Structure 1
Amino acid sequence: MDAIALLKKYFVNQEAFEIVAKHSRMVADKALGIASALNAGIDLTFIEEAALVHDIGVSKIYAPKLNCYGKSPYICHGVLGREILEKEGFPVHAMVCERHIGVGLTVDDIIRQKMPLPVREMCPLSQEEKIICFADLYYSKNPESLSRENSHEEVRTALKKFGTHKVAIFDQWLAELGKP
């Protein structure tokens, strides 16, 4: 897979491409560091590829701050990314897209928050999915803070808005995956 070529194919706006490509590179580097430290036979090539394309669905959402002018709300970028990567012939990478939002979305989250998403579990299952999802929590796509890594406490604070159970998942991953 040529992840950068795929991103370029779907991001018609150069500024949007640059934001997502930079964010994704930082996520990939952090995920590779975590996976390497675990030394558990994790597929590093897959980690890098999937991390680089995990936000490809952002190309189809409406987010003017990111120079994206699609029709869908931001929360849909995971399922849109899954659709894109399945169409491109990368079904395993596609699942990373769908399952990387926050610490994962449950059926209860989707129903309770009335999200415009298919009602199904969208939580990371594989070790690779968890690592990428975990690494993604540390970086924003906000152009003003694109290069800044969030602290553990900042990640916890952001997740707390969605419930203490989301913070508990993060803390479990922090213990399991090591303190990056």
Structure 2
Amino acid sequence: MYQRIIDKYYGGCGALRHILLTHSQSVAQRALRIAAMHPELNIDTDFVRNAAMLHDIGIIRVDAPGIECHGTEPYIRHGVCGAEMLRAEGLPESYARVCERHTGAGLTLNDIVSQNLPLPHHDLQPETIEEKLICYADKFFSKTHLDREKTIEQAEKSLSKFGGETLARFRDMKRLFEPDL
């Protein structure tokens, strides 16, 4: 399902397509591994696979030359850009929500307003189990070091710069999905 959309937007984007696919596959694999460990959570693994592959579809619209993105939007908007793209493609709203809600450990309205972020003024925190799982798995992979998976300590360090509330939200997800790490 995701391949048609990636082909449409990234067909002629060799390096960027590679970055998107490699990163998204890593996120999907970790999320699916975690889902397999938690049958009690009734996670929709088909949705997780497809949504994880599309969660960063919006990077093509942002300005981040270090990862071959030559758009015009600030990087922080890649999630809302991706949500707009998936809505325009007619995908269910659940896919757009994953795009919007995976940035950081989710963003509260207070985060957006207090930091003057160029984002819609509403809460962008993951709510469903699948949204939380993809958001969590995403924190272990960067788009600049595609061959590395971060440790829990490295993931926490990356998030700590966004403040204690962000780190606390990530730790809540960790307790839910990987309490033994």
Class of the TM-score when normalised by the shorter of the 2 chains: over 0.9
CA–CA distance in structure 1, aligned partners of residues 161 and 154 of structure 2 = 12
CA–CA distance in structure 2, aligned partners of residues 150 and 30 of structure 1 = 12
**Residue among 106, 112, 115 paired with 2:114:** 112
Conserved 8 A contact 1:58-1:77: yes
Aligned residue type for 1:111: V
Match of 1:83 in 2: 84
Match of 2:4 in 1: 5
Ranges in structure 2 where 5+ consecutive residues have no aligned partner: none
Report runs of 4+ in structure 1 exceeding 3 Å deviation: none
Aligned residue type for 1:37: M
Q: Aligned-pair distance for 1:5?
A: 2.5
Structure 1 segment 1-180 matched on structure 2, within 5 A: 2-11=1-10, 12-39=12-39, 40-90=41-91, 91-142=93-144, 145-178=145-178, 179=180
Q: Aligned-pair distance for 1:73?
A: 0.7
Q: Aligned-pair distance for 1:13?
A: 1.6
CA–CA distance in structure 2, aligned partners of residues 47 and 18 of structure 1 = 20
TM-score relative to the length of structure 2: 0.94
CA–CA distance in structure 2, aligned partners of residues 137 and 8 of structure 1 = 25
Aligned residue type for 2:112: I
Aligned residue type for 1:18: H
Aligned residue type for 1:168: A
SS of the residue 2:37 aligns to: helix
Report sequence identity in percent.
40
CA–CA distance in structure 1, aligned partners of residues 73 and 122 of structure 2 = 18
CA–CA distance in structure 2, aligned partners of residues 119 and 141 of structure 1 = 27
SS of the residue 1:141 aligns to: coil
Conserved 8 A contact 1:107-1:121: yes
TM-score relative to the length of structure 1: 0.95
Aligned residue type for 2:75: Y
Ranges in structure 1 where 5+ consecutive residues have no aligned partner: none
